[in-house]
Amino acid sequence: MVQKSSDRLLAILHLEDSEADHGLMTLALKRGGLSFSALRVDTLEEFQEQIDRGCFDIVLADYRLPGFTALDAWSYVAQKPQSPPFILVSGAIGETAAVDAIRMGMADYLLKDDLQRLPHVVERAIEVHEARNAREQAVSELAVSERRLSELAEHLQLSIERERASIAREIHDDIGGALTAVRFDVSWIARHSDNEAMRKHAISAAEMLHHAIGASQRIMMNLRPPVLEQGLVAAVQWLATGFEQRTGTPVQFTSSRDTIPASNDIQLVAYRTAQEALTNISKHANPSKVTIDLSDQEGVLTIEVSDDGVGIEPEMLSKPRAFGLRGLQERARTVGGWIDISSRPGQGTSVILSVPLTAAGSSVAQGAHQ
């Protein structure tokens, strides 16, 4: 909350070569009900020395002084990171010059024959100055908060990929191996059992184990896609084929070339983006067709997943719990990329990931493959 200048003691630096004018200034401020202490200086060197101490709430300055002008004083004040508001109080400056001075950044100007307005001008200048400082501080704090959130999002993505890789290894090494061994044993029982009922149960169990092994392999592929080892083009083609087989919706996949060179982290982000887009399509879009376009034109990797389904309402894109879409944006940011989502109700949706191939992405994928 900004404290009113009339409620506190103001420290004023007055750049003025006339002791009489300084007295009139202090009298006008007292009549205006302001509490203040005022220091008068009349040389540029003394003014600069006082400004360097940084203990003033406001500067009042005559325009013309012996050997220099208020513009010289302002030039010195303006370079300070926390400079106080600067007000011209002069009778020797035209209105045009005064307006130009304000455009340079001074807080205000006032003619010496209008000093009864000085308390109001001072209070307003201080309030504007403190409001500007508060806004700048808020902007700075917001930037710090956004940077920390971005770092947290990147850390979470890295942690998620590492956890996925760990779970995938456990499924492959423990669950997958155990299911395969049990299936061999059950199949052996089915082949060697003389009991027809037992043989039928064993055959049925072997079929269920076959499905379980297939499910574990699909889960493992989703958690840690080894298909990426064959390249991004092959991996996205595999996603498209799997989606078409599961949903019965035709998918048209095109690529600018057979292989697209990109770092592991960029490939993983592109793969996850396509995977998430296809998942959203299968859950919500109800399309008749899907298209996936992959290219690396002009040094930018672009993958676009489009459908002709029901589309997304505009308010859905910005709702607080749109974590899937927001997750895509955060994931793209970790490799220096961005996400564009365009949709019209009843006309489908398009999700586009763009990543400069020269960008220094994060270590998400490299950490996940360790």
Ordered by where they begin, the domains of the chain are 5-138 (3.40.50.2300), 227-370 (3.30.565.10)
Q: What is the pLDDT of residue 23?
A: 94
Q: What is the pLDDT of residues 62-112, one digit of tens each?
A: 988 999 989 999 999 988 887 899 999 887 677 777 777 888 889 888 888
In degrees rounded to 5, what are phi and psi of residue 357?
-70, -10
**pLDDT interval class at 364 (50, 70, 90):** very low
Average pLDDT of 154-174? 75
What is the pLDDT of the chain when averaged over all its residues? 85
> 0.85 exceeded by the pTM?
no
Average pLDDT of 38-49? 94
Q: What percent of the chain has pLDDT over 70?
A: 90
**pLDDT interval class at 247 (50, 70, 90):** very high
Q: What is the pLDDT of residue 369?
A: 41
Of the ranges 36-40, 173-177, 227-231, the best mean pLDDT one: 36-40
Stronger pLDDT, 54 or 75, i.e. the higher one: 75
Whether the Cβ atoms of residue 25 and residue 118 lie closer than 8 Å to each other = yes
- Rounded Cα–Cα distance for residues 215 and 110 (Å): 80
**pLDDT interval class at 367 (50, 70, 90):** very low
Output the furthest CA–CA distance in the chain (Å, rounded): 123
Cβ burial of 191 (10 Å; 0-12, 13-18, 19+) is exposed
